[in-house]
Amino acid sequence: MLTGESRSEAPIPVSLFRKEALAARRDAWLGRPQLLQPISVQTATGLAVVAVVLIGSVLILGEYTRRVRVSGTVAPSAGVTRVFAPQAGRIVQSAVSEGVAVRRGDSLYTIGLDSVTDLGETEAIVESQLRTQRAELQEEISRRAELDRIDKKGLYEQERILKREIERIDTQIADTADYLAVLKESADKYKQLVNRRITIQREFEFRQQSYMQTRQELQGLKRQRVQLDGRLEEVHSKLDGFDANAAIVIGELRQRAAAMDQQLAQGAARRAINVTAPRDGTITAILGKSGQMIAPGAPLLSILPTEGQMEIHLMAQSRAIGFVREGTHVLLRYAAFPYQKFGQYPGIVKRISRAPLRPSDLDGISDMGGQSNPVAPLYQITVQPQVQDVVAYGKAEPLRAGMEVEAELLLDTRPLYQWILEPLYSLRGGVASQSTSTWQ
């Protein structure tokens, strides 16, 4: 057993490393020491001045443009004409195709309106009967005109005969009057001879009887002349009123024919109507197809004008319209051509509506101009794009009516420091207005 002295005399273990080496390794994780020298005051001041100058230059020389984003559509400057069905019916004939040019008055559609009964198409039957009556009436008019021509010719022939008869009677009257004068002279001579007892009474009576007979013949000829004058006057009267009377009769017949034509036209209108082009242009957006049943007011197609260029119709709420002016620059983004690939296109504000439009007035404007509140009144801004096409994959694609457009209106360009100090300007303006109201 070991005592306390033996334990105290036990050997002490000896380390392989010196105490200084162990102490140095204990602080190795802190890294190697480096000597730091503070920046001089002159250098710090110079850097600060440079920074202040740069920041001041940016604030003074730098500019920022306030932008307002609105939406709209592409539309022709002359407007798009939409054609609607005037009445309900069935399209029996279509003369349209996409991209075809038409002129004003060209036929586009024929819409059938006829109803069908047990006897067939009602209007078709009525039209057939009316056409038959119309043909018979036309024949009657022709016959009447021919009869009038014959009657008038007969009156002229009677006039010619009567004039010749009057000429003959006048000749007879003249000859008889001359002969009567001779007979009277002879009778007077024989009367003197009888009074002188140179001749016998019977000779005088014979001459007197001849004179009396001739005088009666002359009176008869004169009566015939008067009768012929009366007949000739009657013929003249008939000729004078012949054309008027014939015109009255023919006019009545033609009035009946016109009434039938009107009934035929009304029947044709009830049976079918013809839809014509209201203007020159190009057919597009065809909705009406042959054989299709349509309701009144249903859209059939649209007509793009041949003249003019495309323009942009933007819709903006009142809070975005304050600083918009004619000539304001616009950046246009076409939905059909994403601006991330095909870029933005410049435009210029051409005109601004002076009064707001109601939502009910915005028929044809997709998504109400992209406004979040479709109930609020909107102002229409017309923009003239600087180019009429979009370059896509090296090919110029023309703008088409109805394309959706997102636009940024470049409203107010000011230095940066003015934008930073704008709250102070607003505050000063408010204080000034309050002071003015107080003094008043």
Q: Is the pLDDT of residue 365 over 80?
A: no
In a domain, 285, yes or no: yes
258 with 217, same domain: the answer is yes
286 with 333, same domain: the answer is no
What residues contact residue 381 under an 8 Å CB cut-off, 6+ apart? 70, 72, 313, 314, 315, 316, 321, 324, 349, 351, 352, 353, 409
Average the pLDDT over 222-230 and give the result: 88
In a domain, 218, yes or no: yes
Domain count, the chain: 3
Task: Identify the helix (H) or strand (E) that includes residue 296.
Answer: none
pLDDT score at 24: 65
pLDDT tens for 165-211 read: 888 888 888 888 888 788 777 777 767 776 766 666 677 677 777 77
135 with 222, same domain: the answer is yes
Containing structural domain, residue 331 = 66-78+307-427
285 with 417, same domain: the answer is no
> In a 10 Å sphere around its CB, with 0-12 CB exposed, 13-18 middle and 19+ buried, how is residue 254 labelled?
middle
Residue 191 sits in a domain of what CATH number? Answer: 1.10.287
Instruction: Calculate the CA dihedral of residues 433, 435, 436, 440 and round it to 10 degrees.
Output: 140
In a domain, 376, yes or no: yes
130 with 156, same domain: the answer is yes
In a domain, 333, yes or no: yes
152 with 218, same domain: the answer is yes
In a domain, 60, yes or no: no
107 with 147, same domain: the answer is no
pLDDT tens for 30-56 read: 666 665 556 667 777 888 888 888 887
The answer to whether 338 and 307 are in contact (CB under 8 A) is no
146 with 257, same domain: the answer is yes
Q: Is the pLDDT of residue 237 over 90?
A: no
139 with 210, same domain: the answer is yes
- Closest among 286, 183, 174 to 221, alpha carbons compared: 174
Q: What is the mean pLDDT of the chain?
A: 79
Angle at 24 between CA 20 and CA 27, to 5 degrees: 145
144 with 228, same domain: the answer is yes
In a domain, 17, yes or no: no
Q: Is the pLDDT of residue 64 over 90?
A: no
In a domain, 322, yes or no: yes
Residue 358 sits in a domain of what CATH number? Answer: 2.40.30.170
Tokens of 138: 């036309």
pLDDT tens for 302-318 read: 888 877 788 999 988 88
Determine what percent of the chain falls in helix, strand and coil, rounding each to the nearest 5: 50, 25, 25
Residue 278 sits in a domain of what CATH number? Answer: 2.40.50.100
